[in-house]
A and B are shown apart, each in its own frame.
Chain A
């Protein structure tokens, strides 16, 4: 017993070590010139503590990225990940024991911390780096700019690692077997879903379960629907609470989500399964034989939860969640990402921030997979596979890019009332009632 445990642990350890790829300096294809300016810096003896949401295997990839920074400058970078990062960082910052760098998955939370002067504004050089090097740079600068306690806007955060959300995953084999075609418009997508129902099939798999975060997958649906029913300006007003949450346009977006999720014929397990099915298990229906469902709307990270051995591009593929042809809103894309901020300044922390905006830092994660970037200076050939390259193209070709709205809303809404409201909605409440109660919660903040 004990022996097998040791063997298993050693194997797991070895697997963990082998998991991340870290090129040696000079390997072809990478922008090693990114390191040149760091070679001149002598930061030995300085420590940079970094706190973020990434656990294994991502933490190993991050460590691989910073290993080159450490080698060039002599600084010591200590990353620690937490699966309840949002709660942890709030405590650390308010208790006055912040890490040097904090990587927020929710810009709303970063903005909240900035408004209490708990983050250090970044240099204008860094700001122009983002402006010039990121595709749609202005939108990324805007997403990293928050007001401080006195109401003055400063640039606080650099986005590093982006998720693409407006994706529908499907099995090309199943589509071929039944003669279905990838829809180009929302009208076609709804017609296709109806056709599947008529054929006696279940078109969608939807699951909102996510432990303490149950409900968030539905907020992504509603945000995607907002962008497909309304102009980006309306979306921005909704996110910043310039229009109330129970505005008829928001209710309409919730109902459009309900057209998919609250329809027993449309979802595997029926509407009542939506709220209790774990989002990590919800794509499983795509791989059942016969298929439990044909389509699954989820962000670019979801392949991590596909059954082992699934090859994206063969066993499963994705298409862009299309927009209504009749609405003429172009091709809006919803995304998210992690933003690196600096709660506690030191020269090594500033240098590391700078390093994270270099192409090299992005490229090392690109070869490890599970990484999209709006950085235009990177060598696109380094993406781990065609899937990621195609997703990066969707990101680059979008007419409109908007950040996950619930992550921009205040925590009590975007990570509270909105989640709960969506669970209530799929459990039977009406869209108006749910929108009213979220609006009320927002007013009471």
Chain B
């Protein structure tokens, strides 16, 4: 244990030290070897200064660009290449892996489920977050309520899945129901249901978990935005006789719309990567598979590099428009 800590400390010190040495050192070398002091003539001096100052940013950005190439750009192109190869990445098979995917009923189910997740989870999480943020804003117990809504944010996806597994738990009729949902159903005189094994609807039962986790995130961000809405616009609306609904939809929402979109797209990107909840709850059984789990199955269970990479590329293509939209909005906000 002590040895690991010492190693970690040394590693951190070394990393920081070397980075500092690199930046300071290369900066120093640049100043020294491309110095304009020894030159005579303003034009030559100016030229040298320009050259030096155009190199300087690359010293600072360079390492980040190299890391980006190694850890982000290279894997994307490697995946693209692998997706055209066979299961052991030996032979070139063209688009066969993609053809296989789009003819595979399980893949199509995963696509359908991903679309369902994309429609419902960001909508519900953002909607609930907005409502709760607005309604608890002026309540004396609002802080407590917001804390409770925010708490699930601190739980990992797998941890949350374990909690919800108990809520959906099923025992045969006549036995004591330890699942909350079935206990309620039985108390009301119904028959227990194997919730997570009911095709199609079970998707929504899994989505509830992510909504439960993400509502707190939406609420906090949107709550801050709501508090940023200028008081005078609200007062003016009240003086004009607007009711609470009009104030909310016509005054508050338009003013925080930018934040709503950011929250929405952030959750959308999260949903496109959804894996853990499905993995822990059903592992894609009973028609609940999503693309990320399908990819995992192909890559690590079936050991098929080509098909797994093809699905990874499909996921990447699906994420790209959302990312581009996010970046464009961020740029627009800056201007």
Residues of A in contact with B (beta carbons under 8 Å apart): 86-87, 90-91, 94, 109, 112, 116, 211-215, 268-270, 272-273, 275-277, 292, 410-412, 415-416, 420, 423-424, 427, 444-445
CB-nearest residue of chain A relative to B285?
A423
**B256-276 interface code vs A (CB 8 A; 1 in, 0 out):** 000000000000000000000
Measured in the bound complex, the distance between the Cα atoms of B282 and A292 in whole Å is 25
Q: Is B170 an interface residue (CB 8 A)?
A: yes
Cβ of B87: which chain A residues have Cβ within 8 Å of it? 445
Q: Compute how far the CA of A416 lies from the CA of B175 in the bound complex, rounded to whole angstroms.
A: 32
Report which of A211, A412, A420, A427 forms a contact with B303, defined as CB distance below 8 A: A412
Closest Cβ neighbor of B199 among chain A residues: A427
- In the assembly, what is the distance between CA of A214 and CA of B304, in Å? 21
Q: How far is the CB of A271 from chain B (nearest CB, A)?
A: 10
Q: Apart from A411-B301, A420-B284, what are 16 other A-B pairs with CB-CB below 8 Å?
A: A87-B301, A109-B303, A116-B88, A214-B283, A270-B173, A273-B170, A273-B194, A275-B285, A276-B197, A412-B297, A412-B302, A412-B304, A416-B297, A424-B285, A427-B286, A445-B302
- In order of increasing CB-CB distance, the 9 nearest A-B pairs are A269-B172, A412-B302, A87-B300, A212-B283, A423-B285, A272-B194, A273-B172, A270-B172, A411-B303
Interface 1/0 per residue, B82-123 and A, CB below 8 Å: 000001100000000000100010000000000000000000
Distance from B317 Cβ to chain A, minimum over Cβ atoms (Å): 23
In this complex, what residue of B is CB-closest to A270? B172
Render B3-37 as a binary contact track against A, CB cut-off 8 A, 1 for contact. Answer: 00000000000000000000000000000000000
B interface, by DSSP: helix, strand, loop or mixed?
A: loop
Q: What are 20 contact pairs spanning A and B, CB under 8 A?
A: A86-B300, A90-B300, A90-B303, A215-B285, A268-B175, A269-B171, A272-B194, A275-B197, A275-B285, A276-B197, A277-B170, A410-B302, A411-B301, A412-B297, A412-B298, A412-B303, A416-B302, A423-B286, A427-B286, A445-B87
Please, which residue of chain A has its CB at the minimum distance from the CB of B89?
A: A94
Which chain B residues lie closer than 8 Å to A86 at the CB level? 300-301
Q: How many residues of B contact A (CB 8 A)?
A: 27
- Report chain A residues within 8 Å CB of B279: 212
**B303 and A272 contact, CB distance less than 8 A:** no
Taking the closest CB of chain A, its distance from the CB of B4, in whole angstroms, is 14
Chain B residues within 8 Å of A273, by CB:
170-172, 194
CB-CB nearest in chain A for B169? A276
A115's nearest neighbour on chain B, judged by CB, is B88
Q: Which residues of A contact B304 (CB under 8 A)?
A: 412, 445
Given contacts A268-B172, A276-B196, contact A211 B280 (CB under 8 A): yes
Whole-angstrom distance between the alpha carbons of A211 and B277 in the complex? 11
A417 CB to nearest B CB, Å: 9
Residue of B nearest to A84 (CB): B300
CB distance from A277 to the nearest CB of B (A): 8
- Tell me the complex Cα distance, A292–B172, Å: 11
